[in-house]
Amino acid sequence: MAGRFEVLPGGGAAVALDEVEISILRSLAVQLMELIGPGDEPVEGEDPLAALFAEGPSEAPSDPALKRLFPDAYGDEDEELRAAAADFRRYTENDLRARKRQDALAVIRSLDGLSATGDDAVVLKLTVDEARAWLGALNDLRLTIGTRLEVTDEDESGDLYRLPDSDPRKPMVMAYLWLGALQESLVETLMSGE
């Protein structure tokens, strides 16, 4: 099971993680939450339906990683499409941000329940819903790191993956690849468990 998710009897997924892996995953999830930013919490006594109609931002984020996490719906080829994208963003981005925060928080909470020591691995067991939250967070982490590393479809040559150990990007490339393997094994696990 080391490093790969496996199906749990009755549904869900499990993976063995050591202390370093737990620390890295938790740190990345915390950083993702910080990048996404705080949410607008409902005010006590406020009409809960009013939150459904709250408007979000209409402009795309300037940070390339946030732009990748919250892309424009229609592109920006002409003014009509830009207006439609702004409207779409205004009514959907707050919910999307909230879901991404919830996914990252689910990762943090499940990792906080583990205690690995030294080289000993512990088994993280996730329900189907927790596994889906993990899948969302793993995807968001890979998108963010890939954007920071400027990974493109043209990177098929693998230059980025053959960096010397002295290259300062090497740890993030290793995290990117590891998260990809975790994500792939979790997708396979969820598909085989259905």
Contact yes or no for 35/65 (Cβ under 8 A)? yes
pLDDT 10s digits, 107-137: 999 999 887 666 788 999 999 999 999 999 9
- At residue 1, the pLDDT reads 42
Below-50 pLDDT ranges, the chain: 1
Q: What is the pTM of this model?
A: 0.86
Contact yes or no for 146/98 (Cβ under 8 A)? no
Give the residue among 61, 24, 58 at the shortest CA–CA distance from 145. Answer: 24
Contact yes or no for 182/13 (Cβ under 8 A)? no
- At residue 57, the pLDDT reads 73
- At residue 66, the pLDDT reads 92
Token pair belonging to 15: 């993976």
